[in-house]
Structure 1
Amino acid sequence: MNREYWRNFDFWLLGTVVFLSIFGIVMIRSAIAGNQELAGYDTRQATFVAIGFVIMMGTALMDYHYWQSLTRLMYIFTVFFLLLVFVIGLASFGAARWLDTGLVVVQPAELAKIVMILVLANYFDKTQKQPHDLRWIANSFLLTAGVVVWIFLQPNLSTSIVLFVIWFALLWMSGLPPKYLVLFGILGAILPLVAFPFLEEYQQMRVLNFLFPDPNARHGNTFNVDQALITIGSGGFFGQGYGHSSQVQLRFLKVRHTDFIFSAMAAEFGFVGVLVILALLIFVIIRCLRAARLANDLFGALIAYGFATLIFFQAAVNISVNLNIIPVTGLTLPFISYGGSSLVSLVFGIGLVESVVARRKSFDLKT
């Protein structure tokens, strides 16, 4: 490691991620204030931030090519842990998604997002000189489906969609011929109609409640979204102040430390505060895209591009749910919502991006 490594290191990306993670702790503390059942969640998140920072720096210092040799092993272990969820998984809100290790409760599906970025980046890197035909597409799809099927059966539709979005984004960046876009368009239009009958009842109700909301509902997703909109509106331009939102502190807003933390943030910091946080998230995405552009090879470029896609899509979906633009999902706001598995996976990904940009074309890989 030499001076050129640190000269190429993206301190702007690092600083922004650290700020967003700390801001997340601050928002979680306000969201859970006075709730004995959630007491200590802010402290847990702070612990995960500290652990995540160590993981992020360790990953950044490691040559990202090292992970290329481990993708097959990581893929196997990811499928194993997803299968283990069915045997000893913890259930919550009708889905079994968590494993209790005795020390912490982990969600393997969150780690699967990062693993699949590495696996697909390796696949497209190794096959970049092969014909980009239906067989090339099908093999990458089967790689993705081998993990998605176990996540879908938990059931976890939102993460399944995220993984397919990452797959298509990396497929496109790897040189998907435009002639296949028509095929994808047709499949994209038909698949939701075909898949709907196979969804769990609560997943179907989320879609139906979104399309045909009941104005008299006093519980469930309709009520939660209505309260989210009221909470956002209550913030006005500058917000009601940290810890002073009646919607948040009186607990009208549900799951306010995870799915609807965006609404809590809007209530306390207002339109201006929301714009600042959105600008920082966009800045993180731009820095990841910059790393992709400067990458030394296709593998590194796809890692950075895949992670930019993950942050953008997950943030866009979470905010859209809060604004009642799309049906309710379980996707959290990156770096801000409560969740140890999610946060550690995200900062691990940031470490990979830092490793890519620090070893860009001007950097001698032998040093």
Structure 2
Amino acid sequence: MNRGISWRHFDFWLLGVIVFAIAFGVAMIRSAIAGNEEIAQSVTRQIQFAVIGLVVIILVASIDYRYWTALYIPMYIVMMILLIMIYISAQPQFGAARWFQVAGLFIQPTELAKVVEVLILARYFEVTKDRPRDLKWILGSLAWVWGLAIWILLQPNLSNVIVMMVIWAAMIWISGIQIKHLLWGALIGIMGIATAFPFLEQYQRDRVLTFLFPDANATYGATYNVQQALIAIGSGGLLGQGYGHGTQVQLRFLKVRHTDFIFSAISEEFGMIGAGLVIAILVFIVIRCLRTSRLARDITGAMIGYGIAVLIFFQGAVNISVNMNIIPVSGLPLPFISYGGSGLVSLMLGIGLVESVIIRHRQMEF
């Protein structure tokens, strides 16, 4: 199983920066929830999930990534079953049915589905590498994605469906899609968004409308959250107000400050320097994943590195953009830093796959 493995190629820089990001995230979660007894266990739980994630990285990296992709059909079936079960039986939380509750923990299969998508597409583009880049080839890859995405859309969870579509678009683009198909796809996508708007859930339409037409006097909801996030970012200045001393954070004006708006909390307590550090960390992680893609020995490995890089980059960019009121509120977490066990472990699973690729990027010599 481990033929061709060389642990000396293991990307310790990547792992080290991720561990630092998680530790920094845990510290910020602790500051963000200080004095809030209802979510006092969040820090302990995040640490537990981080430890699980580290074990996952080592275990996944120790197994050849080609074995993982060879299991794409069983993984796909299991993933679809989980998503269908969520749709049928999960109890709604915060207006949507997205979680299983196990031992007091909310498990979100959608986070895992994004990593499974990368594996499936990596396999698809490997086995179809000699096929013409025609419409049939495009629709074939899209069918695999929408087999999972449709159940996520029904939860409803539009944000993560968009993430999955971005991953698909990026991976099919790097696989050599014809420009005319890319342009047609972009046009159809724009028209589809405009056409689908009236059929979105009410909270989804409200997010877009409050972004376009904000209420300066709002005291709750998406507009209020973004206003408080901007105040937090602005009040942090260059160096910040100090760890545990952010007024918007500690006085609880900033809502969901340990999840969706943790970037604003960081900006308030550590200033532009801290915010810049977070961005630099994410950029470094993305670059190391792209490096793995470049060094991979086959298309499967290259696609895994590239797909995970796109996942981390897009989610990070969206979260930061929401905090800065550049785009409507989405609910996507800040990778490796926001609170959330399912998201953290799933991302670390993705990193384990990247490590599996990089430690096997050269043939063993005998």
| TM-score interval for Structure 1 and Structure 2 normalised by the shorter chain | over 0.9
> Could you tell me how far apart the structure 2 residues matched to 1:145 and 1:260 are?
29
> Could you tell me how far apart the structure 2 residues matched to 1:208 and 1:69 are?
44
> Could you tell me how far apart the structure 2 residues matched to 1:175 and 1:70 are?
25
Aligned to 2:147: 146
Instruction: Rate the CA distance shift 1:189–1:36 in 2: closer, same or farther, 3 A.
Output: same
Q: Which amino acid aligns with 2:181?
A: Y
Which whole-Å deviations, capped at 9, do the CAs of 1:252-277 have from their partners, x for residues lacking one?
00000000000000001100111112
What displacement does 1:112 show? 0.2
After TM superposition, the score normalised by the length of structure 2 is: 0.97
After TM superposition, the score normalised by the length of structure 1 is: 0.97
SS at match of 1:91: coil
Q: Which amino acid aligns with 1:363?
A: Q
Q: Given that residues 97 and 109 in structure 1 are in contact (C-alpha distance below 8 angstroms), is that contact kept between their aligned partners in structure 2?
A: yes
> Could you tell me how far apart the structure 2 residues matched to 1:268 and 1:98 are?
32
Which whole-Å deviations, capped at 9, do the CAs of 1:148-191 have from their partners, x for residues lacking one?
11001100000000000001111011111122122022112211
What displacement does 1:103 show? 6.2
Q: Given that residues 11 and 358 in structure 2 are in contact (C-alpha distance below 8 angstroms), is that contact kept between their aligned partners in structure 1?
A: yes
Q: Which amino acid aligns with 2:278?
A: I
Q: Which amino acid aligns with 1:12?
A: W
Aligned to 1:117: 118
Aligned to 1:363: 363
Aligned to 1:130: 131
Aligned to 1:13: 14
What displacement does 1:312 show? 0.4
Is the counterpart of residue 38 in structure 1 residue 24 in structure 2? no
Please, what is the CA RMSD of the aligned residues?
A: 1.4
Aligned to 1:66: 67
Is the counterpart of residue 81 in structure 1 residue 50 in structure 2? no
Q: Given that residues 5 and 363 in structure 1 are in contact (C-alpha distance below 8 angstroms), is that contact kept between their aligned partners in structure 2?
A: no
Q: Given that residues 9 and 358 in structure 2 are in contact (C-alpha distance below 8 angstroms), is that contact kept between their aligned partners in structure 1?
A: yes
SS at match of 1:314: helix
SS at match of 2:92: strand
What displacement does 1:194 show? 1.0
> Could you tell me how far apart the structure 1 residues matched to 2:336 and 2:292 are?
19
What displacement does 1:239 show? 0.5
Aligned to 1:213: 214
What displacement does 1:105 show? 2.3
> Could you tell me how far apart the structure 2 residues matched to 1:330 and 1:20 are?
20
What displacement does 1:58 show? 0.8
Q: Which amino acid aligns with 1:275?
A: G
SS at match of 2:253: coil
Q: How does 1:191-206 map to 2 (within 5 A)?
A: 191-206=192-207
What displacement does 1:7 show? 2.1
Aligned to 2:252: 251
Q: Given that residues 4 and 360 in structure 2 are in contact (C-alpha distance below 8 angstroms), is that contact kept between their aligned partners in structure 1?
A: no
> Could you tell me how far apart the structure 2 residues matched to 1:89 and 1:341 are?
16
SS at match of 1:96: coil
Q: Given that residues 207 and 327 in structure 1 are in contact (C-alpha distance below 8 angstroms), is that contact kept between their aligned partners in structure 2?
A: yes
SS at match of 2:99: strand
SS at match of 1:92: coil
> Could you tell me how far apart the structure 2 residues matched to 1:306 and 1:86 are?
26
Gaps of 5+ in 1: none
Q: Given that residues 148 and 160 in structure 1 are in contact (C-alpha distance below 8 angstroms), is that contact kept between their aligned partners in structure 2?
A: yes
Which whole-Å deviations, capped at 9, do the CAs of 1:83-115 have from their partners, x for residues lacking one?
111233132221110012336321010000000
Aligned to 2:53: 52
Gaps of 5+ in 2: none
> Could you tell me how far apart the structure 2 residues matched to 1:172 and 1:87 are?
35
> Could you tell me how far apart the structure 1 residues matched to 2:216 and 2:109 are?
37
Q: Which amino acid aligns with 1:140?
A: S
Which range is displaced more, 138-147 or 87-96? 87-96
Aligned to 2:26: 25
Which whole-Å deviations, capped at 9, do the CAs of 1:194-250 have from their partners, x for residues lacking one?
111111001000000001111121111000000000011111100011000011001
Q: Given that residues 87 and 154 in structure 2 are in contact (C-alpha distance below 8 angstroms), is that contact kept between their aligned partners in structure 1?
A: no
Aligned to 1:168: 169
What displacement does 1:3 show? 11
Which whole-Å deviations, capped at 9, do the CAs of 1:294-337 have from their partners, x for residues lacking one?
00100010000000000000000000000000000010000000
